[in-house]
Amino acid sequence: MLKEGMELIDAHFKDEGISRRDAIKMFGASGAAMLMASGATTEAKASSAVKAKILIVGGGLAGMSTAARFTNSLDNPDITVLEPAEHSTSYQPGQTLVGAGVWKNEDTQYNRDDFVPEGVTLIKEKAVEFDPDNNTVKTSGGKALKYDYLVIAAGLKLDFSKIEGLGITDTITSRGDDSAVRKVIGQNGIASIYFANGATDTWTQMQKFIADAKSGKKVKGLFTHPNTPIKCGGAPKKIMYLTDARLREAGARENAELMFLPNGGKMFGVKEYHDAIVNQFDARDMKWNYRHNLVGVDPVKKVATFNRHWKEKGPWDEDLEEYSIVPRSEKIEKEFDFLHITPPMRAAEEIAKSPVGSSKGWVPVNKETLQHVKFPNVFALGDIAAVPMGKTGGSARKQYKVVVENIISMMEGKELVSKYAGYTVCPLITSIGTVMLAEFNWTKKPTPSFPLDPTQERWIWWLLKVYALKPMTQYGMLSGRA
């Protein structure tokens, strides 16, 4: 009955449409009920009387949600959050919609201080030195903070400096000082939705691109995906789908060539979603070319340089009795009128080079318990954690409960029984009005929360994405209950 009802709702709204006011009323107010129906929302367990000093590094969505969960779960919580950024709790998934002119930046920006749980100590500084052997973290303001348990939820950095020709030397975060980056990204047809002002500038650059196509000019749009782990792996494709949709809306699609150039060899790591995306690209005449990593940009000439890489069969190996595999690569150049850059991403240097970091930068944890592989009283979650999947807000929604439950278990002298199963969700926007709700875990198989074919683009998921997920995230997760 639920399946039939949702299909009827989807078909009705697809045909009839719905006003923004009615959508906000229905999905904003009832969003929590939808999560409850899907089994996605759970209340915190009964509170525990155990005591310990808990330090959380990072006060974004993952960190503040963890702090809130602790306050709900402990009778006498002693929690400190280190977070210098004023807008750390802003809704980053909304930046894709800002980039396509569906939302404004103010629709996604929130003040950190509005979401600090009652009783939690907030220190508006960042961690600069970790000493896990002595349970101490030093801050940018010179403080030495002691802890019994440490939770690292520091997010990641955007590293445009890895791309030659842009003249960018520093890394940035999604919100903060982006002045040096914005001198280049957001100009001359170059865009990126991965930082807040960049998303606003993406819409400006996209409109110029569309205007050129509408005037009759033949234009080219390139969309990249780097050779590093990134947050929200679907976003590079989402902004491409939305560019296609805006071009069609303007009656200018036939004058634009759109090409996706990812470093990898697939559209998606889950076969069912990969196949669905390929079919969607074919239907929209959107092109792609795998194994291309963006390494340089000439902003004046509007030329992007890629490292195209592949493997060839090499000489016969008599000892192994098989042919060797030889890696090959070449630099190629492509002209563009619009270039959306998904920048390389990495952990903050002060974490990567510390005892709690790793050679790849990310904090190494057991992928199920999220406990550090070397330091038992250290945990990590969100973008900074070295797990096979999980750099999405939907993943953090599962992870923060695991971290809280396992730390409380340790405080009570019990075994760690809470496990993260690798749940990841990507509401893949495929047009203005449709979304494919891709949910999966470490099995790399679809794991839908609702009884509908998850490979189908649906209007109902557009309503969920545009009107329901933000309040669910901001007021559900950040209360420690969703």
Active site residues: 232, 426
Which tokens hold the place of 479?
């209360």
CB 455 within 8 A of CB 436: yes
Output 440-448 pairs: Cβ under 8 A, ≥24 positions apart: 440/269, 440/270, 440/273, 440/389, 441/389, 442/367, 442/388, 442/389, 444/269, 444/270, 444/271, 445/270, 445/272, 446/270, 446/272, 446/273, 447/423
Largest CA distance in the chain: 71
Residue with tokens 């445009």: 160
Q: Which helix (H) or strand (E) holds 221?
A: strand 219-225
Residue closest to 210 by CA, chosen among 368, 338, 306, 311 = 338
Amino acid at 191: A
Q: CA dihedral in degrees (264, 469, 444, 345; nearest 10)?
A: 30
Residue with tokens 């005591």: 51
Which tokens hold the place of 167?
């003249």
How many Å apart are CA 144 and CA 139, to the nearest integer? 7
317 backbone φψ class: left, alpha, beta (φ>0; ψ -120 to 50): beta
CB 307 within 8 A of CB 292: yes
Neighbouring-strand partners of residue 53: 78
Give me the sign of the Cα torsion angle 448, 453, 458, 460: negative
CB 97 within 8 A of CB 181: no
How many Å apart are CA 173 and CA 246, to the nearest integer? 28
Strands 219-225 and 149-152: unpaired
